[in-house]
Amino acid sequence: MALKLPIYMDHNATTPVDPRVLEAMLPYFTEKFGNAASRNHPFGWEAEDGVKLARKQVGDLIGADPKEVIWTSGSTESNNLAIKGVADMYKDKGRHIITAIHEHKATLDPCKRLAKMGYDITWLEPREDGLIYADQVAEAIREDTILVTIMWANNELGTINELPEIGKVCKEKGVLLHTDATQAVGKIPVDVNSAGVDLLSGSAHKIYGPKGAGFLYVRRRKPRVRLTPIIDGGGHERGMRSGTLNVTGIIGLGKACELCRLEMAEESARLSKLRDKLDQGITSQLEHAVINGHPDRRIPQTTNISFPYVEGESMMMAIKEIAVSSGSACTSASLEPSYVLKALGLGDEIAHSSIRFGLGRFTTEEEVDYTIDKVVTAVKKLLELSPLYEMVLEGIDINAIEWGAH
């Protein structure tokens, strides 16, 4: 089969909808269009039945009771609801929250807003391997700590934080644990009970479901978690999130979760093999290339590789047939190295030229082979062009040079 270009290697950003998911959704746009809150006629019942099934499909994937699933528009909303909702509900108990500096913006920014409102935030720093460990959390917990929010898997690195250990620490100390599991759900086994998680965010579009649908798991027992809603209205979702349910999106999210649950073992085995091949293929041919983050404690689909002495934007240009995410956002004249990579202690010049490869359900071995080839060729060409690499070959320490201000 001929290779189709461009190749999509950015599945941590989003995924295509699985045709089976789409098929499950379609009737709910037309024949089954009812409002799930319409209790007094069959149109509403039909929609509600679909939503009920979806709740079970989500619950089954994460080991939760269906009643503990609150529908949202995605993980950004779920994180906001969890963090701001807990902060407000428990403000008389304390105003201290623990998180980490390399969380997704959808966690960082709600925490920053709370800081402005007078809450005290502890920002944990990852160890060199990109992980947050339970002992760091234990050390940071105080009398007035009301919430720990630490993501399950990091979106840029794919690294998996020390869960369930963090959950255990939180349980022991009686502090609520929220985890942004957007990058973990459906990819690795996630179980809210064995991980000691009280609130968990997930999003459909990362797992072959539609965009604009997500959920927040909210524990109902031991302890019963309460939240102040951020959207008030008709009192849907046990009053935690008002608004007519996005039935089609919810049906898609449910189906996506079911497929992930049934196919996870096989899919993750296949993808981790391909991911390892990609890592191997690149690092064995490029001696300076380094894998960022813990090499083993990672979700199986993702790898983040730095290419020292090569500049990021030119690198992206050289592999433009491959859709990847670069470690820097080149929205302006000066590149902004990723705060996640900087959190690992990577120098600017290395953070500048890091690439996240995100494999997915429809990635083929052929595509991986092509990617290896393209990347290796591109980096070799750019190294040939790089004055920094030349200096390194001559034995000059480029960090010792006083570069002109600019």
Ligand X SMILES: Cc1ncc(COP(=O)(O)O)c(C=O)c1O
Residues with a catalytic annotation lie at 330
Q: Which of 23, 128, 313, 321 binds other proteins (CB under 8 A)?
A: 313
Task: Select from other proteins, ligand X, none the partner in contact with residue 75, using the beta carbon and a kind-dependent cut-off of 5 to 8 Å.
Answer: ligand X
Q: How far is the C-alpha of 136 from the C-alpha of 130, rounded, in Å?
A: 13
Partner interacting with residue 269 (select from ligand X, other proteins, none; CB below 5-8 Å by kind): none
Taking CB under 8 A as the binding criterion, the range among 143-151, 249-257, 326-334, 360-368 that sits at the site for other proteins is 326-334
Give me the phi and psi of 303, to 5 degrees please: -145, 150
Q: Which two tokens stand for residue 229?
A: 């809603």
Q: In the complex, which residue's CB is closest to ligand X?
A: 74
Q: Which is nearer to other proteins, 26 or 330 (CB)?
A: 330
Question: Which of 333, 395, 397, 400 is the binder for other proteins (CB under 8 A)?
Answer: 333
Q: Cα angle vertex 60, ends 55, 64, to 5°?
A: 80
Tell me which of ligand X, other proteins, none is bound by residue 403, counting a contact when its beta carbon lies within the kind-specific cut-off of 5 to 8 angstroms.
other proteins
* Candidate residues 5, 262, 269, 385; the one interacting with other proteins per rule CB under 8 A: 385
The bridge status of strand 290-291 relative to strand 302-306 is antiparallel
- The pairing of strands 7-8 and 322-323 is parallel
Near other proteins by CB under 8 A: residue from 311, 319, 354, 359: 311
CA 181 to mean position of chain CA atoms: 6
Partner that binds at residue 1, options other proteins, ligand X, none, CB closer than 5 to 8 Å by kind? none
Shortest distance, CB of residue 144 to ligand X, whole angstroms? 27
HSE (side-chain half, CA atoms, 13 Å) at 14: 11
Residue from 308, 330, 310 nearest 318 by CA: 310
Of the candidates 3, 5, 265, 317, which one interacts with other proteins according to CB under 8 A?
317
**Token code pair at residue 212:** 């604009």
Q: Count interface residues toward other proteins (CB under 8 A).
A: 27
Q: For the chain, state the CA radius of gyration.
A: 22
Residues in touch with ligand X (CB under 6 A): 74-76, 104, 106, 151, 155, 180, 182-183, 203, 214
The binder of 313, among ligand X, other proteins, none, by C-beta within 5 to 8 A per type, is other proteins
80 makes contact, choosing from other proteins, ligand X, none, with CB < 5 to 8 Å by partner type, with: none
Give strand pairing partners of 217: 69, 200
* Cα–Cα separations (whole angstroms), residue 223 to 110, 150, 166, 171, 342: 23, 19, 17, 10, 37
Q: Based on the shown chain and the rule CB under 8 A, indicate whether residue 390 belongs to the binding site for other proteins.
A: yes
Work out how close the CB of 376 gets to ligand X at its nearest, in angstroms, rounded to a whole number: 28
Q: Is 403 in the site for other proteins (CB under 8 A)?
A: yes
Q: Which is nearer to ligand X, 75 or 145 (CB)?
A: 75
The tokens 């956002």 sit on which residue? 329
Which among 125-133, 186-194, 292-300, 325-333 is the span making contact with other proteins, rule CB under 8 A? Answer: 325-333
Close Cβ partners of 40 (under 8 Å, ≥ 6 residues apart): none
In this structure, are strands 176-180 and 7-8 parallel, antiparallel, or unpaired?
A: unpaired
Q: How far is CA 256 from the centre of its chain?
A: 16
**Residue in 19, 384, 395, 400 binding other proteins, rule: CB under 8 A:** 384
Candidates 7-15, 102-110, 229-237, 304-312: pick the segment binding other proteins (CB under 8 A): 304-312
Query: Binding marks (x or -) toward other proteins, 334..373, rule CB under 8 A?
Result: xx------------xx--x---------------------
Tell me if 156 contacts other proteins by CB under 8 A. Answer: no
Residue 104 interacts with which of ligand X, other proteins, none, CB < 5 to 8 Å by class: ligand X
C-alpha 80 chain-centroid distance: 15
- 26 SS3 class: helix
Distance in angstroms (rounded) separating the CA atoms of residues 69 and 63:
11
Query: What single DSSP character describes residue 189?
Result: -
In this structure, is the dihedral angle defined by the CA atoms of residues 265, 269, 274 and 275, taken in order, positive or negative? positive
* Residues near 2 by beta carbon (within 8 Å), at least 6 away in sequence: none
The site for other proteins (CB under 8 A) is made up of 309-314, 317, 330, 332-335, 348-349, 352, 384-390, 398, 403-406
